[in-house]
Amino acid sequence: MANIAFIGLGNMGGPMAINLVKAGHEVCVFDLSETAVAQVVEQGASTKASAIDCVKDAQFIISMLPAGKHVDGVYLSPETGLINYIAKGSVVIDSSTIDATTSRKVAGELALQGINFVDAPVSGGVGGAIAGTLSFMVGGSDDEFKQVEPILNAMGKNIFHAGGHGAGQIAKVCNNMLLSVLMVGTSEALQLGLANGLDAKVLSNIMSKSSGSNWTLDVYNPCPDVMENVPSSNDYQGGFMVDLMAKDLGLAMDTAVGSQSSTPMGALARSLYAMHAASGNGGKDFSSIFNLFNK
C-alpha cells in the first residue's frame, strides 16, 4: 500500500480518490472546495492545509484538474509549484484531460528534479469513476508504467500503455474525436431511416449486426427508447456532457493543427457540437446531438 496525494476532487476526482482509500492506500486529499474535501475525508482519506503539505510525504501524486493551465500552474509555478516540494523518486500521475504539449513540458521539468511523471487521462465518465471501471491511457516510460499500474488498478479496469510522455493525451484525443464522429454518424443514419419509415429498434439491430456496428449504436444508442439505461431514454440526463465533448474536440483540433493533420470529420463534429452547445444543450449528454437531425 502506498502514500498518495490526490489533488482535484471534482465529479471524477472525488470517487477516484475514494476508490484508492477503499483499496487500502493512505490518501491525503486537497481541493479548493472544502465540501469536496469533506466528502472524501468522510470515506477515510486525510487532508492537510495545502496541496504542498499533502505531497511532501507522498510516493504518488495524482492530479485531476480542468485544463492545461491548471496543471502547469499547480506543478510548475515559480514558488508555490509542487515541483519544489515533491520528493525525488516519487511519481506524478496527471489524470486531467489536457493538451499533450503541457503534459510533456511538466514531465520534462519534473524529470530534471528526479521526479517521475505519467499522463493518464481516463475515459468512462462519472459512472466509471464511482464503479472503479475507468480506462486509463498512460503516457510514460516502461518503468513509469510499471510503477503506476498497480495504483491505477484500484480506480480502473483497462490500463493502457499508449507510449511515451504525452501519448496518453494523444490517445484520448484520438479516441474522443472518433467517438464524436461515431455519435453524429449514427444519429444521422438512424434519423434518415426514421424519416423513411423504418423502426429505430429494427434499424439499430440490423446495423449493429452489420458493418455499421459501433459503440454509440450498440451500447449507447442516441435514439430515445431503443435501449434502457442510456441517457437518450432519460431525457439525455447524465452521461458525458456536450460541453466536455466540445472541450475534447477543441483539444483534438489544436492537436491536428500542431501536426498539420487533416481531420475533416473531426472538424465537422467540433462545429456541430459547438453549435449544439450554443443552443443551450451544453449540460445534456452528448448523445443529444441526435435531436439536431429531428424532422
Residues at the site binding its own copies, with contacts judged by CB under 8 A = 100, 123, 135, 137, 158, 160-164, 166-167, 170-171, 173-179, 181-182, 184-186, 188-193, 195-199, 202-203, 205-207, 209-217, 220, 252, 255-256, 258-266, 268-269, 272, 292-293, 295
For residue 128, the minimal CB distance to its own copies (Å) is 10
State the Cα–Cα distance between residues 151 and 129, nearest whole angstrom: 14
Strand boundaries in 46-177, DSSP class E? 46-47, 60-63, 91-94, 116-119, 122-123, 134-139, 156-163
Q: Smallest distance from the beta carbon of 294 to its own copies, in angstroms?
A: 9
In the complex with its own copies, the residue whose CB is nearer, 13 or 128, is 128
Would you give the DSSP letter of residue 154?
A: T
Q: Which of 105, 172, 201, 284 is catalytic?
A: 172
Strand, coil or helix: 162 = strand
In angstroms, give the least distance from the CB of 196 to its own copies. 5
As given in the structure block, the three cell numbers for residue 243 are 460541453
Structural element, H or E, at residue 286: none
CB within 8 A of 144, min separation 6: which ones? Answer: 91, 116, 117, 118
Q: Minimum Å distance from CB 281 to its own copies?
A: 16
Give whichever of 5 and 223 is closer to its own copies, judged by the CB atom. 223
Nearer to its own copies, 5 or 137 (CB): 137
CB 178, min distance to its own copies, A: 4
List the end-to-end C-alpha distance of the chain, in Å, as a whole number: 56
- Count the residues in the chain: 295
* Euclidean distance between CA atoms 255 and 169, whole angstroms: 10
Q: Which is nearer to its own copies, 27 or 170 (CB)?
A: 170
Query: Is 172 considered catalytic here?
Result: yes
Which residues, 6+ apart, have CB-to-CB distance to 83 below 8 Å?
75, 76, 109, 110, 113, 115
Q: Who's near 44: CB < 8 A, 6+ residues apart? A: 21, 22, 27
Which residue's CB is nearer to its own copies, number 87 or number 292?
292
**Grid cell 452528448 in the structure block, residue:** 286
Residues taking part in catalysis: 172
